[in-house]
């Protein structure tokens, strides 16, 4: 299926931040065959709008618009390094897959599936279920039984306090990717103790809907700037 024939879901409840996008990009570049097992689900009854896999779809569009057959191997090698993977077999397979993808701008049939026939209620349920992550990570099992770089793969870094991990990280909220492209936005990272963090967060939300808006208002800066999706 041609990428241009698929449509991102405007009501998709998930967004993709810059660090998360880079990790997803690396995983897709290194392991494209896994897309056969985690298919992009679209609805042919609604102009091929995507029900599941919006972030994978956007990442694949990014690959096609950013790389060429003559430089995709370098990108894949970089992704392998980021994931601490060293495999010539994976590299050769990925180069073959993405060289064809870039040239044709079409997804293999095995990467997609049609939700045609599901009721509207079932389609809405599919979107929620596809975006919900049930259960918690057992970090003892991960640490003792898995030989992977957990941070590179996007797992929670348990070196920080558990309560802090569950808090909203405003510094990371600056950088979410939009509907049609991926914008490079700078991150201003501030570090506080947990007690000070709660105080700052509470005060900022009194002045704006987002921390960014509040800071601009408090500093009396001209708010004529690109809007960052919330």
Query: How many residues would you count in the chain?
Result: 230
Q: What angle do CA 202, 211, 219 make, to 5 degrees?
A: 105
pLDDT of residue 28: 95
Q: Kindly state the tokens that stand for 227.
A: 């809007």
What integer is the mean pLDDT of 24-42?
A: 94
Percent of the chain with pLDDT over 70: 68
* Helix and strand element counts for the chain (H, E): 10, 5
What pTM was computed for the model?
0.61
CA distance linking residue 96 with residue 73, whole number of Å: 9
Strands (E), the chain: 16-17, 40-43, 49-52, 112-114, 176-177
pLDDT band at 103 (very low <50, low <70, confident <90, very high): very high
pLDDT band at 155 (very low <50, low <70, confident <90, very high): low
pLDDT of residue 95 exceeding 80, the answer is yes
Strands 16-17 and 176-177 turn out to be antiparallel
> How does pLDDT run across 47-82, given as a tens digit for each residue?
999 999 988 999 999 999 999 999 999 999 999 999
Instruction: Say which residues have a Cβ less than 8 Å from residue 159's Cβ, sequence separation at least 6.
Output: none
pLDDT: which is higher, 21 or 78? 78
Confidence category of residue 106, pLDDT binned at 50, 70, 90: very high
Q: What is the pLDDT of residue 204?
A: 80
pLDDT tens figures, 123-152: 888 888 776 655 565 666 666 666 666 666
Q: Which long-range contacts (CB under 8 A, 24 or more apart) does 186-195 make?
A: 187/18, 194/161, 194/163, 194/164, 194/167
Q: What is the pLDDT of residue 137?
A: 57
Top-confidence residue, 145 or 119? 119
């Amino acid at each position: 299926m041609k990428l241009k024939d698929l449509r991102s879901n405007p009501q998709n409840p998930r967004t993709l931040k810059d660090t998360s996008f880079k990790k997803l990009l690396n995983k897709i570049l290194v392991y494209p065959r896994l897309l056969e097992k985690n298919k992009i689900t679209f609805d042919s009854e609604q102009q091929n709008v995507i029900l599941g896999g919006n972030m994978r779809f956007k990442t694949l569009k990014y690959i096609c618009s950013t790389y060429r057959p003559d430089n995709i191997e370098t990108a894949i090698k970089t992704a392998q390094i980021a994931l601490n993977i060293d495999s010539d077999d994976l590299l050769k397979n990925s180069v073959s897959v993405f060289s064809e993808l870039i040239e044709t701008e079409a997804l293999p049939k095995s990467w997609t599936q049609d939700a045609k026939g599901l009721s509207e209620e079932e389609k809405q349920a599919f979107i929620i279920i596809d975006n919900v992550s049930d259960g918690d990570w057992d970090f003892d099992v991960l640490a003792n039984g898995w030989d992977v770089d957990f941070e590179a793969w996007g797992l929670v870094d348990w070196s920080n306090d558990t309560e802090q991990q569950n808090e909203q990280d405003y510094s990371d909220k600056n950088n979410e990717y939009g509907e049609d492209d991926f914008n490079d936005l700078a991150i201003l990272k501030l570090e506080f103790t947990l007690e000070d963090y709660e105080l700052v967060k509470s005060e900022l939300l009194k002045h704006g809907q987002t921390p960014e808006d509040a800071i601009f208002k408090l500093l009396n800066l001209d708010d004529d700037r690109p809007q960052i999706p919330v």
